[in-house]
Structure 1
Amino acid sequence: MSQQHDSQSYYVPEQSPWPIVGAFALFLIALGAGTTIAKIHQTGDPGWGKTVLIAGIVIVVLMMIGWFKDQIHESMQGMHSEQLGVSYKQGMSWFILSEVMFFMAFFGALFYARVLSVPWLGGEPNNEMTHLVLWPDFTAMWPLEKTPDGTETQAMGWTGLPLINTLILLTSSITMHMAHVGLEKNNRKQMKLFLTLTVLLGSIFLYLQVLEYVHAYRDLNLTLDAGIYGNTFFLLTGFHGMHVTVGTLFLIVILARVWCGHFSNDNHFAFMAASWYWHFVDVVWLGLFIFVYII
């Protein structure tokens, strides 16, 4: 189909294989990642889990390329009506809401450990007997720098790389907004410049987070096995890093489309969706920085 649809029509796309391909790829990633972690913990070798994980990642990349290609083709051929645009906005809003609830679960685990579990193990309130039976040497403090098996670790401070990364993400939110303003004003030079800066800042953030993880493992003995503090630290920052990776790839695709002359000041949902997602990632990091690093 290549005909132009009027604003009152609703375009129903043909059946697509990409949703089931994506679901299968995510299954492989979950299976491969879980198996890899378990095998490494047991034997020190990832075994077949590593192969399954890599296969899942490759299939996800291929799925994204194919699905993006189909969506871009439909958009550029004028198949998307105004009514469909409203559906896209609602869908993206619900998707971001689901992501908010995803992170709320991990923040909830963090608060439960800090506010309820740690004081309870320390004998408060009125829990001295359980404290003596379960862990008599336990000191109720956060972050927990000693695991039940006696392993000692150090907490990640908020200065240094975490503070630099916070400033980088805050700056990237500003550059993303300036790129959006450039698009709305039909100033494509401004849009290209600030969108490119946003991609660069996102990439720098990811690079610095890798350095932070290397520092945590090598110098602080802060690992995924380092008790509840290590668990919550890496789950929250790791999943956020994954979302920054997805957001950066999203922005790279949008930047490529901008250089190809796509989008106008009155038709740019994909650009707007990328902007929404990037601001969401920035807000989540602010919560992480405050509750994981500072408090």
Structure 2
Amino acid sequence: MYLYKSFTHLKTTHSYHLVDPSPWPIVAAFSAFMLTTGGVLYMQRFVGGWSLFLTGFVGLLYVMYTWWRDVIREATFEDTHTQVVQKGLRLGMILFIVSEVMFFFAFFWAFFHSSIAPVYNVGGVWPPKAITTINTYTVPLTNTFFLLTSGATVTWAHHAILARAKRHTIIALIFTLVLAALFTGLQGVEYFNAPFNISDGVYGSCFYMATGFHGFHVFVGTIALFISFVRVILNHFTNKHHFGFESAIWYWHFVDVVWLFLFVNVYWWSNK
């Protein structure tokens, strides 16, 4: 007992955060393994594949909640996110966004490889002759307006928290979340009414893979901004200590930029 008490008062001479032992990495690894394995087994129609997939999916959701709960507790109540730790977190977020850029780079590579020099299989033209494309100036243009406006409102929220204007931060985040929901809803309407699907050759594959994964990133960014919204209400952030909110804003601007490339190339240039 005496040894335990002595360690609870142990002081360090550095600014780094030595995290406590955590079960979440290994639980996340097993959950991801069950998710991917179950998905493959389900697609190959093996018995139990769907159950394994659902178990892995629920496990990942649970780990996401508990692991990020721990990180929030460390940043707020334990006050372990020093300036040095925040620099490391910023670098990690930058590298993560770079990896996401490379992820979408693969889809754009496939799109331009197929569109700039279309092969005879698709009629030697782009878009392929059998494809009826989506009108650029309907849902895509409306969604562009919604997403760019959300980028402005989330910047407003960031400047408001820097100015210690909590009310303005909350109002700006509400606008951002509403615009994000409108974008996602219209994307679903577009998919529902699209005259082609993912199995319609290389055009359908490139279109749905690029826009679909972008839509998934919008969904993830919306969740991140909603969590930041709740944390603003709970006074988890200050004007100098709000990296969780700042990282969500960075991610949202990344989503905006990717959509601009998608709109210009996949919707507008590809349909000319």
Fold shared by both chains (TM-score > 0.5) = yes
Alignment coverage as a number of residue pairs? 262
Q: Is the 8 A contact 1:2 1:78 kept in 2?
A: no
Matched, 1:187 2:176: no
Q: Deviations over 1:274-295 (max 9, x none)?
A: 1000000110011111111111
The residue correspondences of 1:83-98 to structure 2 (distance < 5 A) are 83-98=84-99
Taking structure 2 as the reference length, the TM-score comes to 0.88
The residue correspondences of 1:1-295 to structure 2 (distance < 5 A) are 8-34=14-40, 49-76=49-76, 77-116=78-117, 118=118, 121-122=119-120, 139-146=123-130, 153-216=131-194, 220=195, 222-295=196-269
Q: Is the 8 A contact 2:42 2:49 kept in 1?
A: yes
Structure 2 CA distance for partners of 1:27 and 1:203, relative to 1, 3 Å: farther
Q: Deviations over 1:70-101 (max 9, x none)?
A: 01111112112211111000000000000000
Identical amino acids, percent of aligned pairs:
37
Q: Is the 8 A contact 1:170 1:282 kept in 2?
A: yes
Aligned counterparts of 2:74 and 2:84: Cα–Cα separation in 1: 15
Taking structure 1 as the reference length, the TM-score comes to 0.81
Aligned counterparts of 1:175 and 1:75: Cα–Cα separation in 2: 26
Structure 2 CA distance for partners of 1:108 and 1:268, relative to 1, 3 Å: same
Aligned counterparts of 1:63 and 1:208: Cα–Cα separation in 2: 31
Structure 2 CA distance for partners of 1:167 and 1:3, relative to 1, 3 Å: farther
Q: Structure 2 unaligned segments of length 5 or more: list them.
A: 1-6
Aligned counterparts of 1:215 and 1:279: Cα–Cα separation in 2: 28
- Describe the SS at the equivalent of 1:14: coil
Q: Structure 1 unaligned segments of length 5 or more: list them.
A: 40-45, 123-134, 147-152
Structure 2 CA distance for partners of 1:271 and 1:4, relative to 1, 3 Å: farther
C-alpha RMSD over aligned residues: 2.4
